A and B are shown apart, each in its own frame.
Chain A
Amino acid sequence: MADSRFVYVTYIRTTPQKLWNALIDPTFTRQYWCGTHQESEWKSGAEWKIMIPDGRVADSGKVLEIEPERRLVLSWRNEKKPDLRAEGYSRATFELEQQGDSVKLTVIHEMDKAGSKFIDAVSNGWPLILSSLKSLLETGESLVETREWPKGM
């Protein structure tokens, strides 16, 4: 295979509107995404970045496609680790699909490069962040280990 890709699917008992909001609203992302928030105008072609609480930029890219409450595609490059940054831009796709009283959220993170270290690195983070997002929307509480940016990182 000439690419690296992970596909995550989770079913969350919520509405597409609430889930969409939770994906981009800083008051939500800070709770389940390790204290980070994203800065963007959220329109096609706009710059996009993930901010660490201390003001550093963790990742950045552009909004490639945006269809509120349905689909978001971002180009995504790590800005912290030189070896990961050197791999260039990956692509993250979020798809939301109402199914009964739940929303099926599919997250695809991929890069047109075999054996990407960056895709390998994010594959360790996504399950925790997405489980925490589900927990936050369904129970009102995110998972404890995702509430703050890890010390020393």
Chain B
Amino acid sequence: MDKVFKALADSSRRKLLDRLRIRNGQMLGELCEGLSMTRQAVTKHLHILQRANLVATRWRGREKLHYLNPLPIHEIAERWIKKFEHGRLQVLADLKKNLEGDTDG
């Protein structure tokens, strides 16, 4: 999970994930189009994303296609976000109870 958080802690890599979210299954050249990053930088970022399992690749003939793999993000959501969400909902429920209690008083 450390690898996922580290991979996500970079705006260039998040941008690459966003590009795959909009259009899945792109080649390196397509992913580089219109970006200010060098091809070498994109390659390096993709490598980090792959090691974190956020990007999966498949070959189609001689073309290497990159796919967004959302599962690690999903696992983070299950493990971390939902648990915090539960706490926040409890806070809102308590707040409502207090405010309504005030109105009564």
A binding-site residues for B, Cβ under 8 Å: 1, 5-11, 106, 108, 127-128, 130-131, 134-135, 143
Closest to A10 in B: B71
| Chain B residues touching A, majority SS | mixed
Is B87 part of the contact surface with A, judged by Cβ < 8 Å?
A: no
- Given the contacts A127-B74, A131-B75, A8 and B24 also touching, CB distance less than 8 Å: no
Q: Are B71 and A130 in contact (CB under 8 A)?
A: yes
CB–CB A7/B58 < 8 A: yes
A7 touches B75 (CB 8 A): no
A11 touches B53 (CB 8 A): yes
A9-B53, A9-B56, A108-B58 given; A143·B67 CB < 8 A: no
Interface string of B16-32 (1 = CB under 8 A from A): 00000000110000000
A1 partner, pick from B25, B56, B71, B75, beta carbons under 8 A: B25
Q: Chain B 51-92 against A: per-residue CB contact (8 Å), 1 yes, 0 no?
A: 001001010000000010111001100100000000000000
Complex: A128 Cα to B71 Cα, angstroms? 8
B71, A131: Cβ atoms under 8 Å? yes
- Residues of the A chain whose Cβ atoms lie less than 8 Å from the Cβ of B24: 5-6
**A7 and B69 within 8 A (CB):** yes
CA distance A6 to B78 in the complex (A): 21
A127 with B71, Cβ < 8 A, contacts A9-B53, A143-B78 known:
yes
> In the bound complex, do residue B25 and residue A5 qualify as a contact, i.e. CB atoms below 8 Å apart?
yes
Q: Is the CB of B56 within 8 A of A8?
A: yes
Given the complex, which residues of B lie within 8 Å of A1, measured CB to CB? 25
Q: State the 6 A-B residue pairs at the shortest beta-carbon distance, nearest first.
A: A7-B67, A127-B74, A7-B56, A9-B56, A10-B71, A131-B74
Task: Chain A residues near B70: list those with CB within 8 A.
Answer: 8, 127
Nearest-neighbour CB distance to chain A for B24, whole angstroms, equals: 7
B71, A8: Cβ atoms under 8 Å?
Answer: yes
Question: Contact between A131 and B56 (Cβ–Cβ < 8 Å)?
Answer: no
Max chain A Cβ within 10 angstroms of own Cβ: one of B58, B67, B74, B78: B74
